[in-house]
Structure 1
């Protein structure tokens, strides 16, 4: 089987779990061929480099969603051809922008979705016919068309008062989102040769799959472990876009998500939390299957086995330790954790908090981590003066890979209780890792936490330091209960969240999609004379002409 992986900011770029799970998937299916079509979000995405793909990855094609738009190849066409291209662009972009600016009361949701799809596919067809549209999407016609749509009767007042600077910002951002429309990926030598397109995230990664379905009939699968729509809305707010710009971009992402979910042959959310978002955006339940991400359990086997040995004879430690592991950023709410630990110290003066963090990837993350250090010094002023070595302060900040935690599993094993204090979360990978290490956990009720933890840990409301402190104290003071929860958590993680379970689920999903959505492609045999069972299923071809009676259902007597 030939599978086209469509990624955005993940595989094959060597950064984070978003690329790692794809690498595990590809390596777990050595009998299939993979082509990777990767969209890069930013220079930082590319700066991390690319992982070395296994031999079943035949090729990797990349394109940027940042920087100046690439040149098109329509410059040497005749004036009449350029006029035809410009006219087609204005018409289709008018439908597209009218769907974005339509307003909640201006048109029914179904009509807006239809206009969005008509404009989107029309732009793609114009790009294929006229050599791409990247410059047109940022030109005067695009700006004027968007302004006309925003000032049309019946739109929201928010858009009716849009300024020129806001129009320029929205136009530039939409061009980057629509850049995949002009890529040379749609044809029998690229996406048209695949048996299935697998978009491993929502958003722009779905666009090539939608066009492959439109132009070549290639079925589309969509997998999301975090809700790409939600990520986009949060990113727009963090970027401090004006309300008008956020309204246009937010509507674009909502309409794109709905079109992708409705078109896909199969949608595989990573959790019930993601599934609920997808259903609200139009994903049909009969074409959905939850597939949990697969974590490499071998990395945590030693820590998990050690936890099992400790569970045989649990005992309260002289210095009960709370551990936090992850990337320090505002959504992880380390501020609430520090205040909770201040309450824990009042009840357990010997307790310690060890914050194990990854290296800060951005200046904003580094600033947040420094803010947390400052807060810890303020909450524990008498003890912070001796914070030059681990163990001399009740709170320590340690980078993973340092002597205190040479490996990630060592960070989890260092805590009697592992805490997840997030105020916002998608799929909590750090929680699964703690479970694989056999550690008892206290988590906030965000994202897919409740689904992941089941009944094997304590869950409290987010942004509530008092509740976080009480639940953590309950486990620190009850080592027998903590040991039972840790053992149950490890068993649950090994049953639900391993690489083998994930790969097996996707193997079955690929076969199911190909069986029910065969690509109408010829020939049945390759140029070398080898059969191609998946690119043209045997059921679609018969070596002899069927008798008329078999076609009509009539049987001779």
Structure 2
């Protein structure tokens, strides 16, 4: 089978969990041919230096959909104020301009209207047809024709109240965002020798990553499989960049990403969320339950085997937290909880091990947490070294105190997660592989992952967090029992092997339901009957009979 794997900043360029998952999928399903389509070099060292590929994979296309525009919103406001429409008039002739206006009006109406679920898709595919036949779509989406059509849709009867409140800066900012979101429509991937040649499109995320899969289904009838380990729409709502926008602009952006999600979920042959939390988001966006199948992410368990099999490792008074340092992890509540716990058990220690990240707010939040810890423990100011001499230590994964994840989890009696927002808690699964008891807040997919093998408390409740940690620190037998159960559960549900087995079956299932398509160059259909593959005296006759060649 030939798979078109659609990634955003993913394999073979990206590092991190997304890149690792795609790499394991490609290497693990060696019986299939993978054509890799990477949207943008986001998060990559360089698109010219991809990761080594196995024989069954090749990089077919790379589309940079993240390049900045030359024209700023402020310059467009000035141009619009003086009625300068020359850019849009140069892009298309009269006929194409009329096609674009009609298509964009349908798309904008679907975004602004309260109960119009079909106009958006109509406009989206009409724009895709225009881009494929004529090109020039990015310029048209930035044109004043587009802004005027958007303004008309916002002011039309039946439009959402929040859309009707939008003003010119909102329209221009949204038009810029829309142009970026729809850049996949202008890629050169929709050809017979590109996506037209694959048997199945597998999008490794929703949102813009799945748009090429939607168009492949429209142009070639190719079935679409969408895997979401982090729901794109949820990520949009939680993005700090959205919080600073005006209310009308936030409403338009939410409508755009909601419509894209709904269309993706409606057209996909199958959705494979990574957990029940993601599944509920998909169902709320209109996904059919019959076409949803939860496939947990696969995490390499081998590296944690030695720690998991050593029941005696770990300091009986040490709590460990591992993750990206950001406000959603609520380290302030964790420090409050630890101060309460330490008042009742003075020998307790807390290691906060930060995973390196490029997030701009990470350093600021880390500094804030260190300062707060110094206030809580004024006589023992936390430092980033000398584990055991301070009640709280701030360390970085890969540093001298925490060289590897295995070493970090091996030092713990209890692993703690204090988040107020969480998707799939990878750190908990890693702790479970290491047979560590866990205390977690009830957010995201935590309960689904833990499944009764750890303690779960409400978020933003430091006292409950402290009580649960103290209960495990004071009860070694219970701690070891929960750790062993956690390891058994992780090995059953969250390994790379179970993930590959699930997708191996899904690929074959989807292909069995897809219509047979014969492409030029594939050879003669049924040229080799089944009996031709069984050794015996009839093999030569079966092969020649199937091909129509003479026997001699």
Which residue of structure 1 lines up, in the alignment, with residue 98 of structure 2? 87
SS at structure 2 position matched to 1:126: helix
SS at structure 2 position matched to 1:52: coil
Which residue of structure 2 lines up, in the alignment, with residue 253 of structure 1? 257
2:298 to 294, 297, 305: 294
1:233-286 CA-partner distances (Å, limit 9, x unpaired):
211665512111111111111111111111111111111111111111111111
- 2:142 is the counterpart of 1:138: yes
RMSD: 2.6
Which residue of structure 2 lines up, in the alignment, with residue 100 of structure 1? 111
CA separation of 1:22 and 1:154: change in aligned 2, threshold 3 A:
same
SS at structure 2 position matched to 1:462: coil
Separation (CA, whole Å) in 2 of partners of 1:238 and 1:393: 39
Cα pair 1:386 1:392 within 8 Å, conserved? no
Cα pair 1:443 1:449 within 8 Å, conserved? yes
Q: How does 1:190-209 map to 2 (within 5 A)?
A: 190-209=194-213
Deviation for aligned residue 1:512: 0.3
Separation (CA, whole Å) in 2 of partners of 1:249 and 1:352: 45
- 2:499 is the counterpart of 1:502: yes
Separation (CA, whole Å) in 1 of partners of 2:241 and 2:389: 40
Deviation for aligned residue 1:139: 1.1
Which residue of structure 2 lines up, in the alignment, with residue 513 of structure 1? 510
SS at structure 2 position matched to 1:129: helix
Count of aligned pairs between the two proteins: 515
Return the TM-score normalized by structure 2. Answer: 0.88
CA separation of 1:529 and 1:79: change in aligned 2, threshold 3 A:
farther
Return the TM-score normalized by structure 1. Answer: 0.88
Deviation for aligned residue 1:144: 1.0
1:16-75 CA-partner distances (Å, limit 9, x unpaired):
212211111111011211111111375x4556964332222122422222224699xxx9
Which residue of structure 1 lines up, in the alignment, with residue 77 of structure 2? none
Separation (CA, whole Å) in 2 of partners of 1:57 and 1:452: 32
Gaps spanning 5+ residues in structure 1: where? 311-315, 534-542, 545-557
Separation (CA, whole Å) in 2 of partners of 1:129 and 1:86: 13
SS at structure 2 position matched to 1:185: coil
**Mean Cα deviation higher: 440-449 or 297-306:** 297-306
Separation (CA, whole Å) in 1 of partners of 2:329 and 2:10: 21
- 2:480 is the counterpart of 1:469: no
Deviation for aligned residue 1:527: 9.3
Cα pair 1:143 1:168 within 8 Å, conserved? yes
Separation (CA, whole Å) in 1 of partners of 2:267 and 2:153: 26
Separation (CA, whole Å) in 2 of partners of 1:213 and 1:283: 17
Which residue of structure 2 lines up, in the alignment, with residue 355 of structure 1? 352
Separation (CA, whole Å) in 2 of partners of 1:360 and 1:225: 19
1:89-124 CA-partner distances (Å, limit 9, x unpaired):
110000001111113xxxx3xxx2211110000000
- 2:272 is the counterpart of 1:268: yes
CA separation of 1:332 and 1:60: change in aligned 2, threshold 3 A:
farther
Separation (CA, whole Å) in 2 of partners of 1:301 and 1:211: 44
Cα pair 2:91 2:140 within 8 Å, conserved? no
Cα pair 1:387 1:393 within 8 Å, conserved? no
SS at structure 2 position matched to 1:4: strand
Separation (CA, whole Å) in 2 of partners of 1:118 and 1:100: 12
CA separation of 1:363 and 1:70: change in aligned 2, threshold 3 A:
closer
Q: How does 1:107-186 map to 2 (within 5 A)?
A: 108=115, 112-186=116-190
Deviation for aligned residue 1:523: 4.0
Which residue of structure 2 lines up, in the alignment, with residue 313 of structure 1? none
Deviation for aligned residue 1:385: 7.2
Deviation for aligned residue 1:185: 0.4
Deviation for aligned residue 1:322: 0.3
1:375-417 CA-partner distances (Å, limit 9, x unpaired):
1111101111777633221000111111222111111111100
- 2:412 is the counterpart of 1:379: no
Which residue of structure 1 lines up, in the alignment, with residue 392 of structure 2? 395
CA separation of 1:45 and 1:371: change in aligned 2, threshold 3 A:
farther
1:77-97 CA-partner distances (Å, limit 9, x unpaired):
x99972221111110000001
Deviation for aligned residue 1:12: 2.7
Separation (CA, whole Å) in 1 of partners of 2:417 and 2:100: 49
Separation (CA, whole Å) in 2 of partners of 1:196 and 1:68: 32
- 2:418 is the counterpart of 1:421: yes
Separation (CA, whole Å) in 2 of partners of 1:283 and 1:429: 25
SS at structure 1 position matched to 2:379: helix
Separation (CA, whole Å) in 1 of partners of 2:382 and 2:225: 55
CA separation of 1:154 and 1:496: change in aligned 2, threshold 3 A:
same
